[in-house]
Structure 1
């Protein structure tokens, strides 16, 4: 079963979450400090982290920022602050959800399950292997050296074979605000990804260009 790391300095709240999550079949680990959570995730990666913002050592925001330097593990923020700016900041620095205290433990468990379902490995063709935790994609048995943006771009295409994505849609998948000045950056990222794919299979063209429309992933050309 998926393992959930709870980072919360209030024992009563942590106990409530542990009870609810274990009741849903998840395994859990509880830590009360952000630095301890970072060390734990490096050594024993969890499948999802529930992260309180008001921690005693470093804030949940700072913990998430440091976490995103080495992991794409899903994060749900917990906070007593329900202002729009706090929610926006939390999501912009890499969180997948934001829950305001007091909360329903059953609702949190449901959100955990929904997020894990969304990020579960997709049934991509055997020629590609996607590892979300390590932010890696294998192609024909060889690991590709991708940047974070290239990983997100290629993963987006792989998730929906044959679908034509516009540059704006791919920018959104990469996590960059749509802007005329940035749309051409997608072309540069596509060119770089294609170059890396060709080092493995020079004659294959898994990424197809649709003039005036965008790009798609074609399994038949992999």
Structure 2
């Protein structure tokens, strides 16, 4: 069966109430309460979005996210009562797409969910886009020491795999395809994450991780330049 949203939360009453609220507004939703049930659900059902709590009884939402990222690229939004910046950074670094702090407004959460699902559906229908929403870019040398392989979703630095995660690859690819043009943060959010609800921290973390993988000195980037107050630009003029 295909679902719009899967909620992974050991607070059963909250998960159930959130599902019921979503269903009232046409968003099909299911919930599970632990690590193993989530993996089983994803294995046998289609899901467009996962809402994931960090604390899952004896299980860790962080570990579950890491495992999910080996199997699927669907958006993962962390929902947690944990408020520290360290938790937010961990969540984003391991493959989470955003971090929503409890208690949250159901109406605001629904708005986020509906926009992401709308974007997911649009990508699925868009010509020239693969099933996971990544446009197909041929294997090519994009700079003197960088090579991008769209089919394999890999970036090579001096012919060594840089180890990009899927979201990092999508972001790198979009920047490269629009090279030497200033791209606003809103444009990146709209085309990579599907809406403008995500925080700047989400984008900044992903940019930092990409720089660490491709730049000789990430603190003085040669390729991905920050355009203060606007966004970023992939610059190739030096090659």
TM-score over 0.5 (shorter chain): yes
Secondary structure class of the residue paired with 1:81 = coil
Matches of 1:175 and 1:116, distance apart in 2: 26
**CA separation of 1:104 and 1:69: change in aligned 2, threshold 3 A:** same
Q: Does 1:149 align with 2:146?
A: no
Structure 1 residue aligned with 2:87: 86
The question of whether the paired residues in 2 share the 8 Å contact of 1:136 and 1:151 is answered with: no
Q: Does 1:163 align with 2:141?
A: no
Higher strand share: 2
- 1:114-168 Cα offsets, whole Å, 9 max, x none, are 33345541786x5x332227x78498xxx933337396677558768963257xx
Matches of 1:86 and 1:150, distance apart in 2: 19
Q: Does 1:129 align with 2:129?
A: yes
The question of whether the paired residues in 2 share the 8 Å contact of 1:3 and 1:47 is answered with: yes
What is the correspondence of 1:206-221 to structure 2 with a 5 Å cutoff? 211-212=236-237
Secondary structure class of the residue paired with 1:106 = helix
Structure 1 residue aligned with 2:227: none
Secondary structure class of the residue paired with 2:111 = helix
The question of whether the paired residues in 1 share the 8 Å contact of 2:27 and 2:114 is answered with: no
- 1:154-196 Cα offsets, whole Å, 9 max, x none, are 7558768963257xx999569523543476899xxxxxxxxxx
**CA separation of 1:26 and 1:155: change in aligned 2, threshold 3 A:** same
Structure 1 residue aligned with 2:210: 176
Structure 2 residue aligned with 1:107: 108
Structure 2 residue aligned with 1:24: 25
**CA separation of 1:136 and 1:59: change in aligned 2, threshold 3 A:** farther
Q: Structure 1 unaligned runs (5+)?
A: 187-209, 215-222
Matches of 1:185 and 1:162, distance apart in 2: 13
The question of whether the paired residues in 2 share the 8 Å contact of 1:136 and 1:146 is answered with: no
Matches of 1:152 and 1:88, distance apart in 2: 15
Matches of 1:75 and 1:36, distance apart in 2: 16
Secondary structure class of the residue paired with 1:129 = coil
**CA separation of 1:158 and 1:53: change in aligned 2, threshold 3 A:** closer
**CA separation of 1:47 and 1:174: change in aligned 2, threshold 3 A:** farther
Secondary structure class of the residue paired with 1:113 = helix
Matches of 1:7 and 1:123, distance apart in 2: 28
Report the alpha carbon displacement of residue 45 of structure 1 after superposing the two structures with TM: 2.7
Q: Structure 2 unaligned runs (5+)?
A: 139-149, 155-162, 189-203, 225-234
Matches of 1:58 and 1:121, distance apart in 2: 33
Instruction: State the aligned residue count.
Output: 185
**CA separation of 1:116 and 1:213: change in aligned 2, threshold 3 A:** farther
Matches of 1:131 and 1:138, distance apart in 2: 14
